[in-house]
Amino acid sequence: MTGRRQAGQRDCTYTYTVEAGGDLRIDTTGTPEGKAPRTLPRIGLALALPGAFDRVAWFGRGPGEAYADSQLATRFGLYRQTVDELYTPYVFPQENGNRSDVSWVAFTNPGGTGLCATG
């Protein structure tokens, strides 16, 4: 199944492939209008999970937030937290909870059933 979404002046194609073992692979390709950018733009996918999937495990930088200006203060490793623990209550609403250099992330319910995403 292939979906095509046009956002603003950018065009992306998402190809969804369900493997025999139940794995879902999403391939994303995009073509910029005009001259190609010097750096790769952020291409994202919004995903919502039921609230029961409140446990998070990931391999990458952590355990706290890791942004371009602070990621050297974090270490590579395997980390586990709840979804609520990823939130930082900043005075002004802003992006928060970012983890960088993540190889995989898993969201599970108390029974261990869930979703694992790899890059």
Tens-place pLDDT, residues 33-81: 778 778 877 766 778 899 999 999 999 998 988 887 878 888 999 999 9
pLDDT at 9: 43
pLDDT at 43: 66
- For residue 13, the one-letter residue type is T
Least confident range from 4-8, 27-31, 32-36: namely: 4-8
pLDDT at 30: 76
Structure tokens at 27: 């391939």
- Name the average pLDDT for the chain: 83
pLDDT at 104: 95
pLDDT at 70: 79
Q: How many residues does the chain have?
A: 119
Cα–Cα distance list, 2 to 30, 34, 86 (Å): 13, 24, 32
